[in-house]
Amino acid sequence: MDRREILRKIDHLRRSIKSNKLPKIYFIHGEFTDEEMNELYNNPKVKAMVSLTKGEGFGRPLLEFSLTNKPIIATNWSGHLDFLNREYTSLINGEVKQVHPSVVVENILLKESGWFSPNMAEIGHYLTDVYKNYKKYLEKAKRQGYYSRTNFSFSEMKKKIEELFEINIPEIAQQVELNLPALKKVELPKLKPVENE
């Protein structure tokens, strides 16, 4: 259903723009293997990643994509700010707005929840500027790629987790022998045998 809905929106958008120079739109849908994702990220037709997430959290695809040394345009909100360097990426400002009542799901998405709403003018600015000044953004993207590789590699993450363990769990629990005190033998009272009648 979501595939059909997205195709419908793409078609509606294309018909609403009066131009003979519309770019090609590649719509890729479904689950991908790690190899397929790597191939997609590194495809020469893929020039940048744009993520206008409302509050996705960590955002593993953004970290993976940063290793391609291609420009990233993302929202200036949520977990990906932990690894996207502001100097090397294009971050879109905006504001957190209360979710629309139609998306509320009991015990999952509360009516008091907020989603990030990116500034549309900034989106347009960065999309245009990255297209027109690609080399400038490519240089920044290479710096982001280096930053990601040196700070968020498996070995770096292992070091950081070990440091957190040392700070928060100074002594790892160890198995100890259980030594219970010796108990006196309990003597049960002798019962009289029951006679058969």
Tens-digit pLDDT string for the chain (197 aa)? 899 999 999 999 999 998 888 888 889 999 999 999 999 999 999 999 999 999 887 889 999 999 999 999 999 999 999 999 999 999 999 999 999 999 999 999 999 999 999 999 999 999 999 999 999 999 999 999 999 999 999 999 999 999 998 888 877 778 888 888 888 888 888 888 887 76
What sign results for the dihedral spanned by CA atoms 186, 187, 189, 190? positive
Phi–psi pair at 107, nearest 5 degrees = 65, 5
Strands in 30-82 per DSSP E: 49-51, 72-75
By the 10 Å C-beta count (0-12 exposed, 13-18 middle, 19+ buried), 178 is classed as exposed
Buried b (16+ CB within 10 A) or exposed e, 127-157: eeebeeeeeebeebbeebbebbeeeeeeeee
pTM equals 0.78
Q: How far apart are the first and last CA of the chain?
A: 82
Rounded Cα–Cα distance for residues 124 and 129 (Å): 8
CATH level 3 topology of 2-167? Rossmann fold (3.40.50)
pLDDT of amino acid 197: 65
Rounded Cα–Cα distance for residues 115 and 20 (Å): 35
pLDDT of amino acid 192: 82
Sorted by where each begins, the domain ranges of the chain are 2-167
pLDDT of amino acid 42: 97
